[in-house]
């Protein structure tokens, strides 16, 4: 018995090292090339994340790490994701080649890139995923507990951990749900499968999720009441659409074929694998309907967030569980059809992993090119200011950026449908002065101050129309103690006092 435990522990250790190695290869460019992407230029203040109800994120990002950590945050994220996927292989009972296939496919799938590109979210995303996995493990170990008081204590503990997970990022509610549905699906292939028992167990699990949501709601009311006025959260539901259901179906289908965002192309393998499984389920005629319904649910869950969004903005980072579903369905299909040891299977998996690595590398490479281009523009602007107004640097350096670059300005660097990776600070949010000023400081170009009163704005607002736009040197002019930089003809994001 002790020998078997030692063997399993040793195998888990090898899987972890393998997963971490794959993650380092996948994100090697991102780790070794400093890139100031959108949102990473924003400083971490004391109330960071509280207006979104993310008090757990605030606890880690502000109180523990005191802000952004460019290299360490991503490295920690990869470490935690590697632990998560290693635990998942054990939970799903994948062994041999299947375990390594699952780890490599999960870690390399580009959807994770849309999480870790955010400096304030990279380690948060990985920690939330790991906590979700551990909660499901604890739940399953204690669901058969005979002692009612002990069972209640354990389930309440799981709910509290899930509450904290939601405080990191609310979309994490889908992670334990998807894991449990996958396990339900796997149980239908066991000789001991009993639908009534499984439904009863699922009811318990749903109860735990509901309790965790209730605990989270109470915690938000206590710690960060401003969530009710959060414009960011409510903006996702502020739009209107004539065919909301049809729009969601369209988004779902695009995700299934991998055309909704850059890097998702290989998800088509998951969809094709699912089709083969469905055909086989029909032929076998055993638990056919329930297996098909659960498999379709597994394919639906990762993209379910898009069903409630009405403003038309569906960032890939919302699809937290797509990497999990991607890896599971492919590996399950390989095992189901008993082709895990075939050379063609190994070639396909290796090809898929390397293709994923290519997509991830290309995403960070394109973002790096945009960052370097933005930094060069910032340096040119600062050089012109220093040359034209040397006295400006002896006083408080108030600056105002009017307008923004057109979307096409960075087209040669941008990858199609790459969302945040294709964002320029001179375009995002229509020329947001807060972002641009922080970018100058974060990129180590210059330390400027945003104008802080309507009186300062009034002293130059009527003169802006007559100014040319960048890159004309006259697009930079000083009015009183404020330097105005005209990036475009159309006014950008309003200042906080407008």
DSSP-assigned states of every residue in 297-311: HHHHGGGGGGGS--S
Q: Would you say 40 and 46 are in contact if contact means Cβ atoms under 8 Å apart?
A: no
Look up tokens 């930079």; give the residue. Answer: 476
Return the closest-CA partner of residue 448 out of 372, 373, 377, 382.
382
The overall average pLDDT reported for the chain is 91
Torsion of CA 67, 22, 19, 423, to 10 degrees: 40
% of the chain at pLDDT higher than 90: 75
pLDDT given for residue 455 in this prediction: 87
- Beta strand ranges found along 389-454 (DSSP E): 398-402, 449-450
Model confidence pLDDT, tens digit, residues 292-328: 999 999 999 999 988 888 777 889 999 999 999 999 9
What is the C-alpha separation between 194 and 362, in angstroms, rounded? Answer: 47
Structure tokens at 198: 């499984």
Which comes out higher in pLDDT, residue 396 or 2? 396
The pTM score is 0.92
Q: Could you read off the pLDDT of 104-149 as tens digits, one per residue? A: 999 999 999 999 999 889 999 999 999 999 999 999 988 877 778 8
Angle at the Cα of 177 from the Cα atoms of 83 and 65, rounded to 5 degrees: 45
- Lateral strand order in the sheet of 482-486: 449-450, 398-402, 482-486, 476-479
- Whether the pLDDT of residue 232 is over 70: the answer is no
323: nearest Cα among 97, 108, 25: 108
Assign 3-state DSSP to the chain and report helix, strand, coil percentages, each to 5.
70, 5, 30
């Amino acid at each position: 018995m002790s020998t078997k435990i030692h063997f399993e522990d040793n195998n888990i250790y090898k899987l972890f090292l393998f997963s971490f190695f794959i993650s380092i290869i996948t994100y090697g460019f991102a780790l070794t090339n400093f890139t100031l992407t959108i949102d990473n230029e924003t400083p971490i203040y004391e109330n960071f994340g509280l207006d979104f109800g993310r008090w757990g994120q605030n606890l880690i990002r502000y109180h523990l790490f005191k802000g952004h950590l460019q290299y360490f945050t991503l490295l920690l994220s990869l470490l935690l994701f590697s632990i998560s996927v290693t635990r998942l292989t054990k939970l799903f009972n994948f062994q041999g080649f299947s375990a390594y296939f699952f780890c490599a496919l999960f870690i390399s799938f580009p959807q994770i890139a849309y999480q870790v590109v955010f400096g304030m979210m990279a380690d948060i995303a990985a920690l939330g995923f790991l906590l979700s996995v551990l909660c499901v493990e604890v739940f399953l170990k204690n669901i058969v507990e005979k002692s009612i008081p002990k069972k209640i204590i354990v389930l309440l503990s799981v709910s509290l951990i899930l509450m904290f997970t939601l405080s990191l990022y609310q979309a994490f509610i889908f992670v334990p749900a998807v894991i449990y549905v996958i396990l339900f699906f796997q149980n239908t292939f066991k000789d001991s499968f009993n639908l009534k028992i499984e439904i009863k167990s699922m009811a318990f699990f749903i109860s735990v999720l509901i309790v965790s949501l209730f605990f989270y709601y109470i915690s938000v009311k206590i710690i960060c009441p401003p969530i009710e006025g959060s414009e960011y959260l409510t903006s996702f539901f502020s739009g209107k659409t004539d065919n909301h259901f049809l729009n969601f179906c369209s988004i779902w289908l695009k995700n299934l074929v991998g055309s909704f965002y850059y890097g998702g192309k290989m998800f088509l393998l998951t969809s094709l694998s699912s089709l083969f499984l469905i055909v086989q389920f029909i032929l076998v005629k055993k638990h056919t309907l329930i297996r098909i319904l659960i498999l379709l649910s597994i394919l639906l869950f990762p993209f379910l967030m898009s069903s409630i969004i009405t403003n038309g903005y569906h960032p890939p980072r919302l699809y937290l569980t797509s990497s999990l579903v991607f890896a599971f369905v492919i590996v399950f299909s390989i095992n189901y059809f008993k082709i895990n040891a075939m050379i063609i299977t190994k070639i396909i998996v290796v090809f898929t992993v390397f293709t994923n690595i290519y997509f991830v590398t290309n995403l960070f490479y394109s973002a790096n090119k945009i960052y370097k281009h933005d930094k060069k523009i910032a340096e040119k602007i600062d050089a012109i200011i220093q040359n034209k107004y040397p006295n400006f640097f002896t006083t408080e350096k108030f600056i105002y950026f009017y307008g923004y670059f057109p979307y096409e300005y960075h087209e040669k660097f941008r990858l199609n449908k790459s969302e945040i990776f294709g964002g320029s600070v001179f375009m995002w949010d229509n020329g947001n002065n807060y972002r641009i000023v922080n970018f100058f400081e974060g990129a180590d170009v210059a330390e400027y101050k945003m104008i802080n009163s309507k009186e300062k704005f009034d002293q130059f607002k009527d003169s802006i129309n007559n100014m040319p736009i960048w890159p004309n040197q006259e697009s930079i002019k000083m009015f009183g103690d404020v330097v105005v930089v005209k990036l475009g003809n159309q006014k950008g994001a309003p200042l906080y006092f407008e």
